[in-house]
């Protein structure tokens, strides 16, 4: 069994090792944004994270830079949510990791509740999309908000990021 910490071995390095060696099994990632990536013969066939599957799940997983991982050799699934070749998966995960970086720097804690600050005003103008995303604030932590959202995970966080940076959102107790 292959296992370790993503702080020591990057996710892309682990994925590249598993894909190029033609492995079959499940890569399990223990982290608030973590999930499972299923491989068959060195190809990604399914991914899950925070109630999402496929490319949404791969996007979330690509944001990880720490957390425990283990590879469950030989594990299989009949689910199919990813239809990209291994090179495309690695490229997409690299791009997604880069896109997530400013979001994770600003909002690293995915286990504390999110709330509006005193800086929020009923006079704050928002678009319909922003309103939909902001309606999730107060329901729990960022992971809960992603699970409840109709937006892709990164899209939701990109909508919330300017409000966070403007001091209108914060972690609550």
Q: Which domains does the chain have, with CATH numbers?
A: 2-106 (no CATH), 114-171 (1.10.10)
Q: pTM of the predicted model, to two decimals?
A: 0.92
Q: Which residue has the higher pLDDT, 1 or 168?
A: 168
List, for residues 3-58, the tens digit of each pLDDT value.
Answer: 999 999 999 999 999 999 999 999 999 999 999 999 999 999 999 999 999 999 99
Long-range contacts of the stretch 105-112 (C-beta < 8 A, 24+): 106/161, 106/164, 106/165, 107/142, 107/157, 107/160, 107/161, 107/164, 109/141, 109/142, 109/171, 110/32, 110/33, 110/141, 110/142, 110/143, 111/32, 111/141, 111/143, 112/141, 112/171, 112/172
Over residues 95-152, the pLDDT tens digits come to 999 999 999 999 999 999 999 999 888 888 999 999 999 999 999 999 999 999 999 9
Rounded Cα–Cα distance for residues 111 and 11 (Å): 21
pLDDT of residue 150: 96
Looking only at the bridges linking them, the beta strands covering 43-49 and 52-53 are antiparallel
Residue 3: what pLDDT? 95
């Amino acid at each position: 069994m292959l296992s370790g910490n993503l702080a020591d071995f990057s996710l892309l390095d682990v994925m590249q090792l598993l894909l190029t060696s033609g492995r079959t099994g499940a890569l399990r990632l223990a982290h608030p944004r973590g999930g499972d990536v299923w491989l068959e013969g060195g190809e990604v066939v399914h991914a899950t994270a925070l109630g999402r599957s496929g490319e949404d799940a791969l996007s979330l997983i690509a944001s990880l830079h720490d957390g425990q991982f283990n590879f469950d050799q030989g594990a299989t699934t009949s689910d199919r949510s990813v239809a990209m070749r291994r090179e495309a998966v690695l490229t997409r995960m690299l791009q997604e990791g880069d896109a997530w970086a400013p979001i994770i720097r600003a909002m690293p804690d995915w286990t504390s509740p999110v709330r509006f600050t005193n800086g929020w005003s009923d006079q704050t103008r928002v678009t319909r999309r922003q309103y939909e995303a902001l309606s999730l604030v107060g329901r729990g932590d960022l992971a809960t908000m992603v699970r409840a959202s109709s937006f892709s995970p990164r899209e939701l966080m990109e909508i919330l990021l300017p409000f966070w940076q403007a001091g209108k959102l914060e972690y609550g107790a």
